[in-house]
Structure 1
Amino acid sequence: MAIQGQDWASYQSATPSTAGLAFTFIKATEGTGYVSPRMAAQTAHARAAGLVVGFYHFLRPGSMIAQAAYFVAKAASQDGDILAADWEDSGVSCAAKDQFIREVKRLRPTHRVVLYCNTSYWKSRDTTSYAGDGLWIADPNHPSGSPGISADWLFQQYSSAGGVDRNVANSKHFKTVADLRAWAGGTTPEEENPMAGITKADIYDAVWKTDKAPAPKTSTSLKTNPTWAPVSLLSDIANNVRAIRTAEAGQTAAIAALAKLVGSGVDTAAVVAAVEAAIETAVIDVNINSKDA
């Protein structure tokens, strides 16, 4: 069953019916000089009914920093309440809307902060797709739960018939009221465990028996094991390490032998050049083998 809610302002009752509701958004403030005279009563009524509570601020042109401070100071919010920016005034730009949301999030970092706007604003005026912690979209022209936007959303205001602003929560995000309450409180609803039903034996077989990584060209087991299982990886690494150590030992012996010849009249510069060339060849060979692996 869809999770239903409403949003309330001063022109609605101080004690609206909460039958069948799980959440409400209550108008708190507007600009920097208005506080809803029914906010306190509506808030007490919603809390008494056990609703998830949210508060919204109607954005007006002017300082977004000042409006954010005014909103958080006047809203009757407490931990677990949602905060919202109501973007309906054409004098408020998209950049200003974004600034307000970010400032509210800075001032109230433990609260979820969302954006409310209609589909026209979202499609035509918004240029950043920034909605804080989620989008509350007003769309009475599409069915409940199916707003006419491609963007992800959390809440849809789908009807204002009879002066009642009806909302629904997105069932993709909130399967239960407990999910909504947990999200509002700052945690993500638990998702289905993708590892459910998988045993240790299944994991062992997947890792050690059915790995399909292609074997490198230098793999000693290429002919018998073209789909290189991790166990072959360990074996091949060991073989490569042994080969590198053998080559290193041979180069060390060669350098030592050449050094003895220096005292027998061999050109020192020629010895140095020969050693450097041998080292460079060895490094190139190791790098090539590493790339193949």
Structure 2
Amino acid sequence: MTVKGIDVSSHQPSDFSTSGLDFVIVKATEGAGYINPKMLAQATRAREAQLIVGFYHFIRPGNIVAQAQFFTGHACSMEGDLLFADWEDPGVSGADKDRFLSELKKLRGKSHRVGLYCNRDYWLNRDKTDNAGDALWIADYVTSGAPRITASWLFHQYAEHPIDSNIARFSDRAALRAWATLKRD
């Protein structure tokens, strides 16, 4: 069983359809200076539809700790929202990705699930540690729920047109919400 969701950035409108969705993951920040100007409106749209909300940060080369601080300081997240590192820039090493996840867990790991978004090529050919935090969100544009990896994944981005479409491995929205809001000591 799976639940359905989308991810959005400033390229998508703030009045996207929430019909049939269980979650929405919103781009919050990028590098050490970009903030999605539609982030608050997009997150509000998802919350008003009672969907699970997540945020992601597009990691760029540079001060990784400062980027994690920038992300947590500017994402309009609430306790229990999902937080993801978006690892797509070829100038960001696997060690940088791991450092970002580590810092993000230090900053928000007790109140948020922290995960990794990357495409199949990065996971299979660039990653050397299999560190995805609490959840691997894999992009592979194939049949929904059948990414071509052997690693355990929780989220699968299976299409990018007309909007980034995702599924998550949970029996229903309540199960996803329960997982997302689990508090850790």
The alignment's TM-score, normalised by the length of structure 2, stands at: 0.97
Moved over 2 A (4+): none
Higher RCO structure, 1 or 2 (CA under 8 Å, sep 6+): 2
Aligned to 1:58: 58
The alpha carbon displacement at 1:187 in A equals 5.8
SS in 1 for 2:55: strand
Per the TM alignment, residue 2 of structure 1 is displaced from its structure 2 partner at its CA by: 2.9
Q: Distance in 2 between matches of 1:159 and 1:79?
A: 29
Q: Structure 2: how far apart are the matches of 1:3 and 1:108?
A: 25
Counterpart of 1:104, as a letter, is L
Report the alpha carbon displacement of residue 177 of structure 1 after superposing the two structures with TM: 1.1
- Backbone CA RMSD of aligned residues: 1.1
Larger radius of gyration: 1
CA distance in 2, matches of 1:71, 1:2: 28
Aligned to 2:18: 18
Q: Distance in 1 between matches of 2:15 and 2:51?
A: 13
TM-score by structure 1 length? 0.61
Q: Unaligned stretches of 5+ in structure 2?
A: none
Aligned residue for 2:179, secondary structure, equals helix
Structure 2 letter corresponding to 1:45: R
1:148 aligned to 2:110? no
Alignment gaps of 5+ in structure 1: 189-293
Q: Does 1:177 align with 2:178?
A: no
3-state DSSP of counterpart to 2:40: helix
Matched with 1:112 is: 113
| CA deviation profile, 1:208-258 (whole Å, cap 9, x unmatched) | xxxxxxxxxxxxxxxxxxxxxxxxxxxxxxxxxxxxxxxxxxxxxxxxxxx
Q: Show CA shifts across 1:95-153 (max 9, x none).
A: 0000001101100122100000000000000000000001000000x210111000000
Question: Which amino acid counterpart does residue 184 of structure 1 have in structure 2?
Answer: A
- Aligned counterpart, 2:166: 167
Q: Structure 1 residues 180, 187: closer, same or farther in 2, change over 3 A?
A: farther
Distance 2:98 2:2 in 1: 30
Q: Which amino acid aligns with 2:157?
A: Q
The 5 Å alignment of 1:1-293 reads 2-109=2-109, 110-140=111-141, 142-162=142-162, 164-170=163-169, 174-186=170-182
1:57 partner SS: strand
Q: Give me the whole-angstrom Cα distance separating, in 2, the residues matched to 1:129 and 1:59.
A: 17
Higher helix residue share: 1
Q: Which residue of structure 2 lines up, in the alignment, with residue 242 of structure 1? A: none
